[in-house]
Amino acid sequence: MLLYDESDIETQFKMGSFSELSQRDIAQILRGLRSTKPSREGEVVLTSGELLRSERVDAGFDQDDRNATTKVVTAVAWLERAGFIERNQNRTQVFQGRPMIRDLDEAKQRMAKLNLSARQERRWLAILSALINAESDDGFSADELAQHSAFSRDESEGSSDGREETESQRVLRTLYAMAEAGLIEKSLLLTAISAMGWRGRLKRCWSRSARWSVKCSPCCRRRPPMPIRRVAESLPAPPQSAPL
């Protein structure tokens, strides 16, 4: 049940339109998946940003939309439900680290000794600039960093299996190279907040959090999306021999 003031009805409709996913959008996501070259195992691994940056995808939203990732995930779930694709386990890569330089001037001095190409230097400086200017608890997705022009496609770059390297993959490769060079410290970063002065409080808080975690786990299990028979009927039929 949604309760709102009559004078607020326009705002409600606008908020609802921001998360709208059209039939055409779903068809465009399917088109992007089918046009992506699979790996040797026949799998297609893409981020939402890579999919939306594809020249073959002309959806009604782009990766600058704050709900872009949610819309892509929803479209993929609907396509899977309708039998157009088969989705396996999510393949997630996480890089945790912090810059080991004070500013960009120091970074340039250290990079001058590494004999980097002009293209590599631009990429390293783009990542360091984003990290230095971010708040201490801010996080970035590879898709966000990949929007920088330094990570645009280059004809000479590719992956070991012959597939074209995506911008997001290029960001991750650059991060690991920077960690090897010592400009970024790659480590597991954790934050612990404890209450001082109250005996036993931390132990009670930890126990209560653990109980809530156990209670909430069943609610977080994956549930299939609602059927979209009308959308499935109007999309092109999937090929019989291909996974997409």
**What is the per-residue pLDDT across 16-63, written as a single tens digit (0 to 9) for each?**
666 778 889 999 999 999 888 887 877 888 888 888 888 888 988 887
Where do we find the tokens 């001095």?
Answer: 109
Strand ranges inside 42-153, DSSP E: 97-99
Of 189 and 28, the one with more pLDDT: 28
The predicted model gives 188-209 an average pLDDT of 70
Q: Is the pLDDT of residue 221 over 80?
A: no
* Model confidence band, residue 123 (pLDDT cutoffs 50, 70, 90): very high
pLDDT at position 242 over 50? no
Closest Cα to residue 78, out of 9, 21, 14?
Answer: 21
What pTM did the predictor assign? 0.59
Q: From the centroid of its chain, how far is CA 76?
A: 14
How much is the pLDDT for 31? 92
Q: Which amino acid is at 165?
A: E
Helices (H), 62-200: 68-81, 104-111, 118-133, 142-146, 167-181
> What is the rounded radius of gyration, in angstroms, for the C-alpha atoms of the chain?
23
Q: Of all residues in the chain, what percent carry a pLDDT higher than 90?
A: 12
pLDDT tens track for 138-185: 777 888 888 888 888 766 555 544 556 788 888 989 999 999 998 988
**Residue with more model confidence, 190 or 231:** 190
How far apart, in Å, are the Cα atoms of 228 and each of 22, 130, 154, 170, 206? Answer: 12, 41, 40, 36, 43
